[in-house]
Structure 1
């Protein structure tokens, strides 16, 4: 396993390692790798706290679409009213 792959595995298991939820062999491997990758894990953790949640972008798009559809619905209603009034005069 190359250095990049080890770093990726370490970062994936870091939270479980800190909580002590790994098996003995995995805990030992994490202890051995900790001096090499701990700065990366702490940097990644602080960076992820500052980012928006993964679903936030989708929620924003859904909210935008709801506003757009509501506006289109209102325009349709106003057009229908205007056409009805125009037809009778």
Structure 2
């Protein structure tokens, strides 16, 4: 595997690596590659400098609240229908 292929694999797995979802040999390889590759170190610095968009986090929060409300509505509706059916 050449250097470009290694960097491409590292960049593809980087988000999982940061969330600590990569295990075993892959995690060890990524730690070694990150320490030795100047190209990937520059990419890491650039990714860390990007601000997290506040709008996106608000939209995700809103979607989670709406989904929770819909689940609660269906749960209450199923209870109501069960009680109504038994009467």
TM-score normalised by the chain length of structure 1: 0.46
Higher relative contact order, chain-length normalized (CA < 8 Å, sep 6+): 1
Q: Compute the TM-score of the two structures, normalised by the length of structure 2.
A: 0.47
Structure with higher Rg: it is: 1
